[in-house]
Structure 1
Amino acid sequence: MGLYCAWRWFVHASVRARWIAAAVLIALLASAIPAPAQAQTWQPRMWFFQGGWAEQHTRTWTVGVLWPWRSSWLWAGGAWSGYWEAALGRWSTDGTDGRDRAWVTQFGVTPVFRYQKDRSPWFFEAGVGVTFIAPIYRNPRKRFSTTFNFNEQLAVGRHFGGQGEHQLSLRVQHVSNGGIRHPNPGEDFIQLRYTRAF
């Protein structure tokens, strides 16, 4: 319920409230990640592939890498941890101006919090980041007005494998510019992600 309320707040919050929330989140993350002791600290530890869909026959395919945080916290009967995510994706949607399909490329960086009950293979995630989409996304019913957008996501997933090296998660993602410029219809995706440790 708490994650759902947070999701609804981010979807409907003002631009100023989103910027304040993002600044607080970045400050928390910066304090949680220790300074790197070795160069290998910046090597990603996991990779992922995900596919998803939205309205207007919109499809998305994304690949990315994850940098888990070294710090974690015990609270509310479980462990809180997280990771930095860098993602590169392609969106395909119904075309305009006589084209059958329109394609855009998306690159995003998102800090993600994870909650996991003690000894449970199940986890919950929430993250807010930034994403760049080029060219500007549009289809017959929607038109973005900026290449810079916010990426907000919620997920539920499960570890599996002998060492828990595989993860499968179902994700809800909202992408919009937060009211920086109009029109700002946003796009909502349902996505399935597979993650594996390197």
Structure 2
Amino acid sequence: LLQGGDLSCVIRERQNSNKLFSEVQVLEWFIQLLLGVRYLHKRLVLHRDLKASNIFLKDGTLKIVVIVPGDFGVSRILLGALDFASTFTGTPHYMSPEVFTCSGYNSKSDIWSLGCVLYEICALDLAFDARSWVKLLMKIVHGPSPSLPESFSEELNHILHRMLNKDPMVRPSAAEILKLPYVAENVKVRSLFILTSL
């Protein structure tokens, strides 16, 4: 199960067993994803298509697939921290409200997509789904954000809701999420485990 393939395959396998991942496992992957997204955003790179099928898993380590401009991909390098992208790109189920409304977007759009991935890992289902494009758009732009299954902590659910805030200005950055006490404590535990395993 954890040896290879993309995250969407791993989630599908888990759906078949009808058993949710533990919060410990979710946090392990979530922290890896936050570190990867922080790395991209520090270099002013927008991913623009973060989704479970663009995240590969090998030996317990997640790797975000990034296709750089010039390779006919969807990632984009911003000119500066205040630059906004405006092209309509990405996978609809993971698109932020600002992408759907063509109102310009920045790194906070990737945070929305990462929130969708976090939800999918926890609930084994898409955060936003509908039978038509219009209904999906309405759900993402105007509908409520989903909550995690009850087996997950209030802290993780609160982080998810901040990531899926309709207002991108209110969404935290990857760096800010890593500093939240609940996440920071788990980063510390993970780092300590790595050091003691060497």
Pick the TM interval, shorter chain.
Answer: under 0.3
Bigger Cα Rg? 1
> Of the two structures, which has the highest relative contact order with CA contacts closer than 8 Å and spacing of 6 or more?
2
* TM-score w.r.t. length of structure 1: 0.28
* TM-score w.r.t. length of structure 2: 0.28
**Per residue, is there more helix in 1 or in 2?**
2
**Per residue, is there more strand in 1 or in 2?**
1
